[in-house]
Amino acid sequence: MKRASILTTLLAMASFVAIPATAQEALAGSSVKNPCTVSSTGSAGGQVTVGVLGADDVGSSKFEEYRDVPEGVSVPCFSLFSRTDKVDFSLWGQNVSRDDQRYTGWFNTSAFDLSFDYNEIPHNMGNNAHVILAETAPGVWRMSDTLQRAIGTTVDATSTAGRTVPFYDALLASTFDSAGLVDISSARKRGSAKLDLGKKLPFDLSLTYMRELKSGYRGEDGGGVYSAVSSVVEVPGPLDEVTQDIGIQAAYRFDKGNVHASFARNLYDNRAETLTVDNPFQWFDRPYVSTPAPAVGGGASARWINAPDNEANTTNLGFLLKFAKQTRIGGDLTLGKWTQDAPFYPYTINTAVLTPGGARADALSTLQQPSFDGKIDTTTINFTFSSRPTQNLSLRAQFRSYDLSNKTDRYVITGDVAGSPDRSWSVVTPTAADPYGHATANVYDNKTTRFTASASYDIGALTLEGQFRTASLERTSREATKGSDDGFAVNAVYHAKDWLGLRATYDQAKRKVDEGETLYGFQSDEAERETKRTTLDLELNPVDSLSLTFAYSRRDVQYPNRPDRIAVTSGAPSPGAQPIPNTPSGLLEAKYDSFTAEVGWTPNPRVELNAFYTWEQDDTVNQWSTTTGVTLNNLLNYAGTDQTDTFGLDASFHLKPDVWKLGVHATQQKVDGLMDITAREAGSFYTPGRTTLIPAGQGGAADIDDWDDTTLTTFAAQLDYAVAKAWTLTAGYVYEKYEFKDAYTAGNLLMPQTVLIFMKSNRGDYDANVLYARLSYQF
Amino acid sequence: MRFIRPVVGLAGLLLLFGGPRAFGQAPPPTPATWTASDCQTCHDKAVGPAFAASKHAKLEQSCGNCHANVADHFQNQSSGDGKGPVPTLKKLSANEISNVCLKCHEKAGQANYSMSMHARRNVACTECHGVHDYKSVRAQLKTTSDTETCFECHKPERAKSMRTSHHPVREGKMGCASCHNPHDGARPKMIKAESVNELCYTCHAEKRGPFLFEHAPVREDCVSCHEPHGTNHKRLLVQKLPNLCWNCHLTGSGHFGSGDNYSTELGARVAPSPSPSGYPTANSRFVEKACKNCHVNLHGSNSPSGAYFVR
């Protein structure tokens, strides 16, 4: 009775506090170990934890990017379980009633196993974003007709030369001052369940179901709004999507292997199909006329089409055969079919745009087709072989083919407003390279066929492995239509059980283009590429109480043999033009280095310490050029570096075993971003007065040394006191500090950048102190 | 129809290698004359509450399913004839330990373990999973979560997870096993789908299409532009925009070069000379989302006017 009354009291408290926005626990993902993962033992019981939390008032959404930290009383976790000969039930809940709540568990009987999970993930991507438009319906952002007219007529009455930044600043100042505020937040709510029915059947059979609802605002959306004055207008993008997935899996197992099959159907339903935004500079739909200057006209609003509903079916058939000497032969065939046939929206929302034949471009009847009826088929073939013919020798081989084939019955596009969105119609003429009217309308297929073989040999505790792999790459409608990607790897693993472990790998690969055409150089994802990877992991345990780890990782990717720049006219080298030496364009190099040192020390059973340091560096180099006639004009070189230092510390002190425990956790990650921009001094970008990014007199180079710099520091301490066998009292403190610096996009805090109207939201620096206390009862 | 022949061939293979007897389910184990409770008499830590709560404890022969010579060991201990054979697995190699587990677990997600990178690197099942004691709610992991387990070895990924642009891994809302099956050897990088893109579509189905207008590199591989483990650039991009776009878009018209008017001075704006069209937005290609300021539907557009992804 006593236990029951305590439980009732706690549950009553839980239900009392289970009101939205009143429950809270310590920061998930920061420092304090999750209190909800206590393994329950015995035949039945559970745990419930009630907590109270106080925190600094933090304005930056970054603090609660994927978590919920409201102040007050909450139920950070609870668990219930029951295990009998007939039923195994477990339910585990976390962050009850909060925006980041989660419930997971299982219900297993002698006839079936049922497992389930429900997970809510908040996405807070910016607080108090300034938006000059008002949302009148989901996905529709409007400006008052009066204001729109006032701004538009003022612009129209001003000469082109007079439309300077100060002009726009003055024109829009009062609008920005009265801008509304909106939080750019959304939520994912995903539930899934799996029902295993194979317990009473002569084969395995399970059913799965998943449903996810995404709602809120996706993030900064909107974009270019085109008229006589073309601007970028950001507003929160609507998000209202449901994804469902239903599947069935079956397998028949026998002594020497299994045969298996599965089918899954995935349905994506986007209930926020469009985004409509008023044009602040054009107050009525008007035909766009660009000459004589100044241009006039354009759409009073712009409309974007969001992702269309789509479906995917995936069918798998496979087998695994087992033989002596650990020999396994496996094969799988997976067929995918993706379809999309959402109704098209009209070409434009501007009622004044007409086709050459005089049809209204904003009418559905003007469309060439009512929908796309898109189809993509994927075929995956996989065969594996592994064996250990002798005790020391392992052999492995794999053949894998992935084929993505677009089966859509394409139509030839004859015209649209793509070239001048919402302003004017363009006749589209197919070409040999773009037979359906646009390059992006080409039928794009790709296929990768890969064969990998490896052999390893054990020499005592040392295992040496060599691997060879070869792949053929095929694509349609791209520059590189055929290629290969071959490589090899050598690896060593040494594991003297108690004191030393070593893993070292070296991997080298080369991607080549065998067929294709390019003038400027292949795009980076298909260009010739040489990759070298090296890793080294060393684990030392000189004594039982001490562990030392060193990890090194290096990836060096080069893009060699890129062609030098040549002047191009109408898609072909200009007459008389020759490649200009030392002017390859595109991604030239990408490197990543990482080093980690870690130590774990348990000087006695009451103290556990672990600390690590990781150093990383990312380097990328790309280059780009322009010509004047057949000679070089600009040569820009962008070299980006992110250098990262990460520290971590975990410490547990069992002050009085099973009674008092102190946990301390601290991390800091500092990213030092650097961007180095070099311009050819003789190029037009170096012209004083035009170029501020590459200032004159600095040798043609500018370092942006606060380029995506961030520092995240966390410190946490938690004291647990076992009041009685079933009761634990916890007190904790968390400090978290986030700093962000980025000169490159500092403009997004200024509104407007000329006529670029960005939303000014708060997801920047914060400094937070959190205090909490919890009471846990285990029953 | 074209699949009938392979299926018939497959059935023939099964008959050839498995034989008629192969189509019977494995025979039930012989009942033992001892139980886990007997082992607990001496091995109270190994057969503690956590083990008792696991499915292993409920198996016929329990300890004897994994440990060899348990019956002899038990008999020797009971009769006082010394220790007898020692059934510990600690002296076994990683491959041998994993084989013990695979006797039962070589099915479903573990069916291809022998091909996996972890098997190749001599990672025994027991390096991640605790048979006798464990801390996770599911999967009997030696740490409280799959992510913590993976980070024991995958140090760069641990560091990347702390980046400002990240999946909600460090918040515990997803884990490494959300995307990877650490036991799989059939798929590249142990991902839980046939391709990287198909994996991404499990949560980002809106990117699947097919679209009227496709961005070819996007259709082929999401990781051409994104680093899912974490980056210091928005939306998990591997590079900052517009640099990322310049990796491929090399045609070099003024469309890409006019961004050089942006000031690097914090808070200071440049007032460029009015352009002939009265469009003083020379810096629009650098600030905020750079190319994406206008080309918003880069993952594909289903707008009839979306050929350049601006609609």
pLDDT tens per residue across span A538-553: 999 999 999 999 999 9
Q: If we measure between CA atoms, which residue out of A660, A681, A538 comes closest to residue A599?
A: A538
How confident is the model over A280-307, as pLDDT tens digits?
A: 999 999 999 988 878 899 999 999 999 9
Q: Cβ contact (<8 Å) for A232 and B284? A: yes
Cα–Cα distance for residue pair A693/B243, rounded to 1 Å:
15
A346 part of contact set with chain B, CB < 8 Å: yes
Instruction: pLDDT band for B252, please (50, 70, 90 cuts).
Output: low
Residue A191 in contact with residue A117, Cβ under 8 Å? Answer: yes
CA of B193 to nearest chain A CA: how many angstroms apart? 10
Around A768, how many Cα atoms within 13 Å sit in the side-chain half-sphere? 31
- Indicate if the pLDDT at residue A420 is higher than 70: yes
Lowest mean pLDDT among A19-33, A263-277, A517-531, B6-20: A19-33
Q: Give the pLDDT confidence score for residue A409 in this predicted structure.
A: 96
Beta bridge partners of A729: A721, A775
Cα–Cα distance for residue pair B67/A765, rounded to 1 Å:
55
Which amino acid is located at A463 in the chain? T
How confident is the model over B166-209, as pLDDT tens digits?
A: 999 999 999 999 999 999 999 999 999 999 999 999 999 999 99
Mutation choice for B interface testing from A395, A644, A693, A760 by most B CBs within 10 A: A693
pTM for the structure as a whole: 0.91
- Which chain A residues in 480-499 lie under 8 Å from chain B, judged by CB atoms? 491, 493, 495, 497
Q: Give the pLDDT confidence score for residue A99 in this predicted structure.
A: 96
Q: Cβ contact (<8 Å) for B213 and A33? A: no
Q: Cβ contact (<8 Å) for B304 and A345? A: yes
CA of A17 to nearest chain B CA: how many angstroms apart? 23
Question: DSSP H helical segments within A76-164, as ranges?
Answer: 145-156
A500 part of contact set with chain B, CB < 8 Å: no
CA of B67 to nearest chain A CA: how many angstroms apart? 19
Mean of the pLDDT values across residues A403-413? 97
CA of B79 to nearest chain A CA: how many angstroms apart? 31
Residues 6+ apart with CB under 8 A from A364: A344, A346, A370
Looking up tokens 């400027």 gives A520
- Indicate if the pLDDT at residue B279 is higher than 80: no
Residues 6+ apart with CB under 8 A from B55: none
pLDDT > 70 fraction of chain A, expressed in percent and rounded? 91
Around A395, how many Cα atoms within 13 Å sit in the side-chain half-sphere? 9
How confident is the model over A106-150, as pLDDT tens digits?
A: 999 999 999 999 999 999 999 999 999 999 999 999 999 999 999
Lowest mean pLDDT among A464-473, B213-222, B273-282: B273-282
Residues of chain B with Cβ-Cβ distance to A228 below 8 Å are 278
Q: Which residue has the higher pLDDT, B298 or B41?
A: B298
Complex prediction ipTM: 0.93
Residue A765 in contact with residue A740, Cβ under 8 Å? Answer: yes
Q: Cβ contact (<8 Å) for A402 and B195? A: yes
Distance between first and last Cα of chain B: 42
Q: Give the pLDDT confidence score for residue B159 in this predicted structure.
A: 97
A232 part of contact set with chain B, CB < 8 Å: yes
Residues of chain A with Cβ-Cβ distance to B222 below 8 Å are none
Q: What is the DSSP letter of A167?
A: H
Q: Give the pLDDT confidence score for residue B90 in this predicted structure.
A: 83
Residues of chain B with Cβ-Cβ distance to A379 below 8 Å are none
Cα–Cα distance for residue pair B189/B116, rounded to 1 Å:
9
- Indicate if the pLDDT at residue B36 is higher than 90: no
Mean of the pLDDT values across residues A244-261? 96
Task: For residue B2, give both structure tokens.
Answer: 């074209």
Task: For residue A744, give both structure tokens.
Answer: 């490159």
- Indicate if the pLDDT at residue A229 is higher than 90: no
A87 part of contact set with chain B, CB < 8 Å: no
Cα–Cα distance for residue pair B259/B284, rounded to 1 Å:
6
Chain centroid offset of residue B163 CA: 19
Task: Select from A228, A673, A691 the Cβ nearest to the Cβ of B260.
Answer: A691
Q: Which residue has the higher pLDDT, A37 or B169?
A: B169
The torsion angle over the Cα atoms of residues B234, B236, B238 and B239, rounded to 10 degrees, is 0
Instruction: pLDDT band for A686, please (50, 70, 90 cuts).
Output: low
Three-class DSSP labels, A588-653: EEEEEEEEEEEEEEEEECCEEEEEEEEEEEEEEEEEEEEEECCEEEEEEEEEEEEEEEEEEEEEEE
A243 part of contact set with chain B, CB < 8 Å: yes
Task: Select from A37, A497, A523 the Cβ nearest to the Cβ of B144.
Answer: A37
CA of B70 to nearest chain A CA: how many angstroms apart? 23
Task: Select from B136, B170, B198 the Cβ nearest to the Cβ of A37.
Answer: B136
Around A63, how many Cα atoms within 13 Å sit in the side-chain half-sphere? 21
Chain centroid offset of residue B20 CA: 37
Q: Cβ contact (<8 Å) for A622 and B13? A: no
Strands (E), A476-606: 480-496, 500-516, 529-543, 546-558, 568-569, 572-573, 586-604
Q: Give the pLDDT confidence score for residue B79 in this predicted structure.
A: 81
Q: Give the pLDDT confidence score for residue A182 in this predicted structure.
A: 96
Chain centroid offset of residue A533 CA: 24
pLDDT > 90 fraction of chain B, expressed in percent and rounded? 48
Per mean pLDDT, which of A126-140, A668-682, B12-26 is the most reliable?
A126-140
Chain pair A-B, CB pairs under 8 angstroms = 491
Q: Cβ contact (<8 Å) for A223 and B114? A: no
My answer on whether omega of the bond before A292 falls inside 30° of 0, hence cis, is yes
How confident is the model over A426-441, as pLDDT tens digits?
A: 999 999 989 999 999 9
Residues of chain A with Cβ-Cβ distance to B248 below 8 Å are 523-525, 586-587
Reduced to 3 states (helix: H, G, I; strand: E, B; else coil), residue B177 is helix
Q: Give the pLDDT confidence score for residue B255 in this predicted structure.
A: 57
- Indicate if the pLDDT at residue B28 is higher than 80: no
Residues of chain B with Cβ-Cβ distance to A673 below 8 Å are 232
pLDDT > 70 fraction of chain B, expressed in percent and rounded? 77
- Which chain A residues in 14-73 lie under 8 Å from chain B, judged by CB atoms? 28-29, 33-34, 37, 39-42, 62, 65-67
Compute φ and ψ for B99, nearest 5 degrees. -65, -35
Lowest mean pLDDT among A153-167, A206-220, A697-711: A697-711
Task: Select from B14, B201, B203 the Cβ nearest to the Cβ of A319.
Answer: B14
pLDDT > 90 fraction of chain A, expressed in percent and rounded? 74
Q: If we measure between CA atoms, which residue out of A331, A491, A463, A335 comes closest to residue A399?
A: A331
Mean of the pLDDT values across residues A584-605? 96
Q: If we measure between CA atoms, which residue out of B79, B72, B302, B77 comes closest to residue B210?
A: B302
Residue A94 in contact with residue A36, Cβ under 8 Å? Answer: yes
